[in-house]
């Protein structure tokens, strides 16, 4: 009996062993089939990658030219240092050694690697953009000693902008895409450099180009032996801008002189062709150096820009909103004329102030201007005249004609993040504040104070519209594109609106503007011989007189803002624009900068030598103690 039981147990065990063997061999067979048949392509690629590597070749961005064909933004060669995780055996060791050799903070290097861990391991992670020659030499030496076989050094094109931050806000800057950009645009991949501001952002699709690739054979240490094939990158399209570099420099030189005189550190200027809307010059101050972004901005530089009280990253030309002061008076004049409320000969007697709705509103001129008509009211910037006209016209009709001229609406300029100014109306106040509009509020609006706020770029369009007779042009920066077969003009954007203004009524405003510069007005600093410059100064308060007294000797800059808007020649305008000086005290100071811009424009047109950069003495800036002003009830001074 025991023998029979032993045999039975042995038989069961043999059967179990046989079944086990069958299962094991079946599993092995299935695994081999899965690996060799189903996963064949994957493992074949991995095998190839043991001795082959595909390297991305970054495409140069398109070159930018000014309207005369002068190169203003181009590319230069630089080096990047990257880690290829596919070829590393100890990533932590590589991070430590690379940080030490390149003199980097190990935490920063690890943070970069961690940010890209989800990407394919064969894709290089760029650790250093625009590496110094010392860093390149140190890394290359370690690679030759086989200490950093998984670190690669590549020569790549890097953006190069003009020095001194000239036209920084116009050009913008480039930077690495973030995750949100990659998700929103399937043509982008992690590591791509794209436009982040200005022209670089708006026309990124044209400027970006197409990356190439190079497949190389490498040895066991990751060193390249030979190139198997190469697809060269395609450079981005060349763009010609409407900008005139000489005029742009004239604007920048004017602001430099203002800053040297300690008059202002902030402001904006926009210069247009009033007939086409082409932007001839565009500046916002203070600026920044776009070159700092071209190869990856460091933390310290970024922190200094974002914490600076002057906000250098803010584009004041399209994002700053300010009271226009007396430069708004032409909009009130046009509303009165076109609505038939006044004629050019309409007169007002100014004694230095006037009473409206139980309150006295003073003129900037203490003794008054006497009896004055429209042309002379513009020339002398008589507040009482425009209080009277504004009161007769009403806020809604002022709003209507201000919009016709380009105020309180977006200009449509081809730059990102433009904001809208404000010209109030009864409907606006009802919707915004759930209150009715009181007629007394119109008095301050009539001289560009109160709730009125404008952007400098909208003021440039405003003057262009007055200059060309009623066409609200769309300011634009792209003139032509070269896609590889020569320059092709870029279609100009259509005007925003067009109104047939009464020529005689418009001429009265133009005459007044001409008298501001060439008569006895406050814009004489902008006068150019035989150029018939027309313009208007404006000085707008940043704080009420009562608030100024309460502030005492505050360290905050409370000086008035200074404006000068212009076009020339008066009857056949070829140039129009605005100069805005934040805390620039008087519009006459802004007119000094405009003089240099206009002098440069007409000198270039006539083939004369360009004028030298102005000095503070040339511009004759006024140094006025802003705290010494009398606490009067006036809301405007010119």
Residues classed as catalytic: 326
Pairing of β 575-582 and β 561-568: antiparallel
* Residues 6 or more apart in contact with residue 13 via CB below 8 angstroms: none
Return the residue matching tokens 């900068």. Answer: 593
Q: Measure the N-to-C terminal CA separation of the chain; round to a whole number of Å.
A: 127
3-state SS string over 150-181? CEEEEEEEEEECCHHHCCHHHHCCEEECCHHH
Which has the closest alpha carbon to 468: 604, 592, 568? Answer: 568
Q: How many residues does the chain have?
A: 638
CA distance 198 to 284: 12
**Could you tell me the strand order of the sheet in which 534-540 lies?**
279-285, 266-272, 575-582, 561-568, 534-540
CA distance 536 to 523: 6
Q: What are residue 322's DSSP bridge partners? A: 454
* Residues 6 or more apart in contact with residue 596 via CB below 8 angstroms: 250, 253, 254, 611, 613, 614, 618, 619
Give the dihedral sign, CA 607/613/618/624: positive
Packing angle of the helix pair 329-338, 395-405 (nearest 10 deg): 110
3-state SS string over 440-495? CHHHHHCCCCCCCEECHHHHHHHHHHHHHCCEECCCECEEEEECCCCEEECCCCCC
CA distance 175 to 305: 15
Element (DSSP H or E) covering residue 335: helix 329-338
Q: Is the peptide bond before 569 cis (omega within 30 degrees of 0)?
A: yes
What phi, psi does 235 have (nearest 5°)?
-65, 145
């Amino acid at each position: 009996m025991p023998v029979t039981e032993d045999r039975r147990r042995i038989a069961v065990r043999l059967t179990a062993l046989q079944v086990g063997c069958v299962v094991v061999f079946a599993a092995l067979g299935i695994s081999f089939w899965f690996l060799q048949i189903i996963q064949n392509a994957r493992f074949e690629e991995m095998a190839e990658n043991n001795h082959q590597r595909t390297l991305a070749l970054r495409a140069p961005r398109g070159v930018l030219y000014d309207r005369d064909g002068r190169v203003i933004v181009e590319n230069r060669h630089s080096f990047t240092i990257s880690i290829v995780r596919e070829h590393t055996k100890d990533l932590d060791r590589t991070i430590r050694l690379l940080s030490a050799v390149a003199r980097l903070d190990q935490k920063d290097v690890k943070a970069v690697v961690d940010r890209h861990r989800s990407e394919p391991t064969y894709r290089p992670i760029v650790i250093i953009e625009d590496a110094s020659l010392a860093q390149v030499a140190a890394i290359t030496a370690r690679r030759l000693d086989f200490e950093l076989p998984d670190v690669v050094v590549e020569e790549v094109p890097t953006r190069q902008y003009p020095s001194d931050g000239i036209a920084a806000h116009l050009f913008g800057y480039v930077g690495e895409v973030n995750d949100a950009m990659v998700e929103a645009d399937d043509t982008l991949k992690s590591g791509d450099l794209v436009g982040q501001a200005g022209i670089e952002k708006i026309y990124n699709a044209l400027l970006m180009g197409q990356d190439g690739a190079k497949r190389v054979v490498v040895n066991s240490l990751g060193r390249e032996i030979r190139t198997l094939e190469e697809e060269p990158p395609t450079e981005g399209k060349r763009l010609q801008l409407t900008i005139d570099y000489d005029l742009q420099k004239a604007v920048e030189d004017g602001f430099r002189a203002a800053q040297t005189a300690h008059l202002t550190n902030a402001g904006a200027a926009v210069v247009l062709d009033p007939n086409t809307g082409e932007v001839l010059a565009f500046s916002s101050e203070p600026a920044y150096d776009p070159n700092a972004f071209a190869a990856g901005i460091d933390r310290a530089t970024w922190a200094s820009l974002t914490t600076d009280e002057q906000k250098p990253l803010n584009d004041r030309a399209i994002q700053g909103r300010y009271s226009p002061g007396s430069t708004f008076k032409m909009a009130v004049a046009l509303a009165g004329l076109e609505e038939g409320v006044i004629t050019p000969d309409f007169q007002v007697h100014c004694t230095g102030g006037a009473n409206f709705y139980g309150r006295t509103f003073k003129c900037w001129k203490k003794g008054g201007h006497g009896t004055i008509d429209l042309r002379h009211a513009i020339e002398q910037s008589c507040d009482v005249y425009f209080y009277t006209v504004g009161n007769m016209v009403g806020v809604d009709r002022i709003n209507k004609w201000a919009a016709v001229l380009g105020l309180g609406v977006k200009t449509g300029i081809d730059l990102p993040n433009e904001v809208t100014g404000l010209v109030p109306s009864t409907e606006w106040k009802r919707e915004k504040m759930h209150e009715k509009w009181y007629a007394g509020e119109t008095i301050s609006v009539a001289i560009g104070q109160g709730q009125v706020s404008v952007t400098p770029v909208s003021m440039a369009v405003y003057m262009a519209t007055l200059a060309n007779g009623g066409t609200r042009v769309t300011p634009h920066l792209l003139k032509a594109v070269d896609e590889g077969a020569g320059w092709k003009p870029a279609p100009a954007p259509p005007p925003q609106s067009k109104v047939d203004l009464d020529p005689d009524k418009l001429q009265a405003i133009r005459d007044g503007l001409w008298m501001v510069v060439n008569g006895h007005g406050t814009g004489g600093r902008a006068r150019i011989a035989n150029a018939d410059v027309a313009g208007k100064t404006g000085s707008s308060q940043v704080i009420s007189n009562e608030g100024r007294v309460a502030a005492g000797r505050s360290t905050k800059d409370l000086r008035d803002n200074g404006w000068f808007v212009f076009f020339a020649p008066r009857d056949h305008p070829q140039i129009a624009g605005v100069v805005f000086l934040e805390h620039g005290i008087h519009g006459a100071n802004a007119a000094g900068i405009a003089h240099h811009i206009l002098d440069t424009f007409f000198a270039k047109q006539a083939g004369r030598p360009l004028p030298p950069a102005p000095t503070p003495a040339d511009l004759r800036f006024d140094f006025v103690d802003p705290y010494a002003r009398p606490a009067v009830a006036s809301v405007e001074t010119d």
